[in-house]
A and B are shown apart, each in its own frame.
Chain A
Amino acid sequence: MSKIVTLQQSIMAEDEKFAASIREANRKRGLLMVNIIGSPGCGKTTLLERTAKESGLSFAVIEGDLATNRDAERLDVLGVPVVQVNTHGGCHLEANVVEKAMEALPLDSLDILFVENVGNLVCPAEFDLGEDFKAAMLSTPEGADKPLKYPYLFSSSKIVLLTKTDLLPYLPFDMKMFTDDVKALNPEAPVLHLNGITGEGFGGWTDFLKDRIKEKKTDAR
């Protein structure tokens, strides 16, 4: 005899348990966790290098890459505690892996834990790592049409970072289209224009982080 059993449960229930456990541990610590997502080469590690040099914030990084320790080495020389996770072909990080990586970091003495996700605009956006928010990154050479082509990332992030703005004079980048599309997907997310070479726009990024850290520490009390 057959019967229908109603489940109404999330497909990622198992993953969500790990994410919930990370979120709860960080809430108690008052530690802000930010999941940075963007294409390969959009400037994710450069953003973190500059944040290390200029923000005065104390943070650690979990680096997700298919292969190599290169990104971790770039941050290690700056004194940033960093754990490299190699996914060996996996296109995104998952919460169980992140929870393990966190064990190697001095979490209690930090303002922020950044996760630099695997370079990819699709899957990383889908997997909850227990972060406070996602930061979506796009570099100008990738094209202004990308938010609508990857709507989930841009609609589910708390902030959108447009990098390599120094290249704008040389590119057919339609800024109005980009701005309108991001607004349509995510009306409340601020959009910051950053230039990793000159540091332009980084003040806005640092201020944004400091406000979020303050909120987080207040909630922890």
Chain B
Amino acid sequence: MHEVSLAESIVTALLQMKEEQQWKSVVEVRLRIGALRQVFPDILSFAFSTVTRGTALEGARLVVEDVPLSFRCRDCGTSWQEETVLCPACGSIHRETTAGLELDIESVEVEEQS
């Protein structure tokens, strides 16, 4: 997807937080990105380093955790990870996606003012 847009959103949110929380610097940013989200980690890292250049976030590390797909049957409650249409336990078609859609900033490592 649009990695530059994502990088810009991350930077906007973190700069605001840095200001509010009076952090000295941001050392590392950890993201959780679902398998269905069409994000290419290398492009996102490149976009992030470009977008942060000249900002208070310059030099922050970006770590991307991939979250695999996961499904759950709405009828019998079984969970599974293989991409199959029908529930492997009861054959129901009422499948919901429980993981793989994440697009989250999980945490940041920050240096506090001393």
Chain A residues within 8 Å of B, Cβ to Cβ: 1-15, 91-92, 94, 122-123, 125-126, 151-152, 155-156, 183-184, 187-188
Asked if residues A3 and B95 are in contact (CB atoms below 8 Å), the reply is no
Asked if residues A152 and B36 are in contact (CB atoms below 8 Å), the reply is yes
Size of chain B's interface in residues, with CB distance under 8 A? Answer: 34
| A to B CB contacts below 8 Å, 23 in the list | A2-B27, A2-B109, A2-B110, A2-B111, A3-B110, A4-B108, A4-B109, A5-B21, A5-B107, A6-B107, A7-B17, A9-B13, A9-B104, A10-B103, A11-B9, A13-B13, A14-B13, A126-B2, A152-B37, A184-B83, A184-B85, A188-B93, A188-B94
Q: Closest CB of chain A to B32's CB: distance in Å?
A: 8
Please name all residues of chain A whose beta carbon is closer than 8 Å to the beta carbon of B109 when the two chains form the complex: 2-5
Identify which of B2, B17, B84, B95 contacts A91 (C-beta below 8 A): B2
B31 within 8 A of A: yes
Please name all residues of chain A whose beta carbon is closer than 8 Å to the beta carbon of B84 when the two chains form the complex: 184
Give the residues from 53 to 101 in chain B that come closer than 8 angstroms, CB to CB, to chain A. Answer: 83-86, 93-95, 97
Known A5-B110, A92-B2, A123-B1: A11·B83 in contact at CB below 8 Å: no
Asked if residues A14 and B12 are in contact (CB atoms below 8 Å), the reply is yes
Please name all residues of chain B whose beta carbon is closer than 8 Å to the beta carbon of A1 when the two chains form the complex: 111-112, 114
A11 to B14, CA, bound (A): 10
Interface-central residue, A2, A6, A122, A125, by most chain B CB under 10 Å: A2
User: Total contacts A to B, CB within 8 angstroms?
Assistant: 87
Identify which of B9, B21, B114 contacts A15 (C-beta below 8 A): B9
Q: A4-B108, A9-B104, A123-B2 are in contact. List 9 more A-B contacts (CB 8 A).
A: A1-B114, A2-B112, A3-B110, A4-B107, A5-B21, A14-B13, A15-B9, A91-B2, A152-B38
Q: What 9 A-B pairs are tightest by C-beta distance, nearest first?
A: A126-B1, A123-B2, A187-B93, A6-B107, A7-B105, A184-B85, A11-B103, A2-B111, A123-B1
Please name all residues of chain A whose beta carbon is closer than 8 Å to the beta carbon of B1 when the two chains form the complex: 122-123, 125-126, 152
Known A1-B114, A122-B1, A184-B84: A7·B107 in contact at CB below 8 Å: yes
A187 to B87, CA, bound (A): 11
Please name all residues of chain A whose beta carbon is closer than 8 Å to the beta carbon of B112 when the two chains form the complex: 1-3
B10 within 8 A of A: yes
A1 to B112, CA, bound (A): 6
Please name all residues of chain B whose beta carbon is closer than 8 Å to the beta carbon of A4 when the two chains form the complex: 107-109
A152 to B8, CA, bound (A): 22
Please name all residues of chain B whose beta carbon is closer than 8 Å to the beta carbon of A183 when the two chains form the complex: 85
B47 within 8 A of A: no
Please name all residues of chain A whose beta carbon is closer than 8 Å to the beta carbon of B13 when the two chains form the complex: 9, 11, 13-14
Please name all residues of chain B whose beta carbon is closer than 8 Å to the beta carbon of A152 when the two chains form the complex: 1, 36-38
Mask of B32-52 contacts with A, CB within 8 angstroms, 1/0: 000011100000000000000
Please name all residues of chain A whose beta carbon is closer than 8 Å to the beta carbon of B27 when the two chains form the complex: 2
